[in-house]
Amino acid sequence: MTITAELVVFIITVFGAVSGVWWRVESKVKVAEDKAERAVADLAQHRVHSAETFATKAGLQEQTAQLLRAIEGVGNRIDGVHERLDRVFEQRTSNRRTSN
């Protein structure tokens, strides 16, 4: 073989090696892109599912109304205790005045 033939074989070998590496890198990038697309699609599907299942506007309004009713009930009970305490203290002060 002559020097030019050896040079051509060397260039073809280097080109083949670079092409092989490039082909492998491209295949890995393609796999990564496919996984990313699937992840985006799954996330979008999960967002829709979460919105439908957990956070409906009507559901939030219903829960808010229930909480407000419960708070109002606690407030009414506190008012009742307050009135009872007022009566107890009024009776004690009136009993002290009449007994002296």
- pLDDT tens-digit profile of 24-35? 999 999 999 999
Residue 98, pLDDT score: 62
Residue 1, pLDDT score: 59
Lowest mean pLDDT across 23-37, 47-61, 64-78:
47-61
32 versus 96: the higher-pLDDT residue is: 32
Q: Which residues contact 1 (CB under 8 A, 6 or more apart)?
A: 9
Give backbone dihedrals phi and psi of 26, rounded to 5 degrees, phi first.
-60, -40
Has this prediction a pTM greater than 0.75?
no
